[in-house]
Amino acid sequence: MNIKHFVESYPEVLQDRFHLSFSKDGSMTDIAYLLRQQGVVMLRGVLDPLTLSICRRSFASFVRTLGRPRQWGRILDRDDRPKSEWANGEKDVGSWHNPWVVRHWLQRPAATIISAVISSWVWPLVEEMCNSTDIAILLGLCQARHAIDVDLGVGAHQDAKVLPAIAPFALWVPLQEVIPNRHSGLGFVTRPPENLLPTLPHNDVGAEYLLDNVNRIWVPEYRAGDVTAHTNLLPHFTTGYGTGSDRYSLEIRAIARKDVRNAPDNPAVFVSRVKGIPRIVGTHSEPPVKARSFLRAFQVAA
């Protein structure tokens, strides 16, 4: 079964049956509790749609250069280039990149979005989930993605299967509206298991798992500026309906700064409260990663 037929057969998955959508007026303690219990929450109106639109255009301009000779300008040549798998352009499903790689001349869309998230009403949720106000954003575990909506089959995966356990949750930030049946988005199987599920060779839990748990599935609609948070054991899946539409997104992962130890922490952005306000207080990058130009796009508190 493919995603399109799945949604047509079970239209109830498009409804917020579990009441997991919140605005800035919600209790952060309650939101964090439900995130841990249900595995996902929708956070409405987190970011400015105009800011996202500008970042989306920069990201799209970057994508159009893949597989072509680039003229970045000498100031940008110091940072990492796109990986060799994109040397001939994107795949039919799009492309995915480290956030510091994505740029269009002096524009760094991922840095703009991360800075906006830190300043938003959702940042206390990050602190609550990390049990600390001293936070490290692990850029090596973040992902900027351009998804082209293709016909996809039913299946799901858990982040904990392929990512270090050090990052227990993620924020998923689409740079535009994401409407089921029109755009590639995400679907979630609420109430995550306590452990990893058995998987097929490609780390997918298989269609049978989703069909056996339709009563727990949610495929939400995102308005521009909405963000979801999901835990690393939550089974979730990318949706695809075959429309050919474009979707740009950024996935952000953070941990308590005291837990920073090894390679996934390079590069990183450090956030603490300065006079009660979340502020970027430092950045870190070291070889072999080249991300210093990207990190200079962040405004670091004096």
Architecture (CATH level 2) of domain 3-131+144-256: Sandwich (2.60)
pLDDT at 285 over 80: yes
What Å distances lie between residue 273 and 123, 181, 269, 279, CA to CA?
Answer: 11, 41, 14, 6
| pLDDT score for 71 | 55
Summary mean pLDDT of the chain: 94
| pLDDT score for 77 | 62
| pLDDT score for 264 | 61
Domains of the chain, by residue range, sit at: 3-131+144-256
| pLDDT score for 70 | 65
pLDDT tens digit sequence for 69-88: 765 544 556 899 999 999 99
pTM over 0.75: yes
54-68, 77-91, 123-137, 139-153: segment of lowest average pLDDT: 77-91
| pLDDT score for 167 | 85
Cis peptide before 82 (omega within 30 of 0): no
Residues in the chain: 302
Model confidence at 51, in pLDDT bands (50, 70, 90)? very high
| pLDDT score for 14 | 98
If you average pLDDT over residues 272-296, what whole number do you get? Answer: 95
Planar angle of CA 164, 95, 231, nearest 5 degrees: 30
Model confidence at 263, in pLDDT bands (50, 70, 90)? low
DSSP alpha helix (H) spans, 17-70 = 28-38, 49-65
Percentage of the chain beyond pLDDT 70 is: 96
SS3 177: coil
Determine which helix (DSSP H) or strand (DSSP E) holds 7, and give its type and residue range.
Answer: helix 3-9
pLDDT tens digit sequence for 139-177: 999 999 999 999 999 999 999 998 888 889 999 999 999
Sign of CA dihedral 180, 190, 151, 100: positive
| pLDDT score for 203 | 85
Query: If we measure between CA atoms, which residue out of 224, 245, 251, 226 comes closest to residue 16?
Result: 226
pLDDT tens digit sequence for 223-249: 999 999 999 999 999 999 999 999 999
DSSP alpha helix (H) spans, 88-142 = 109-118, 123-130
pLDDT tens digit sequence for 178-228: 999 999 999 999 999 999 999 888 889 999 999 999 999 999 999 999 999
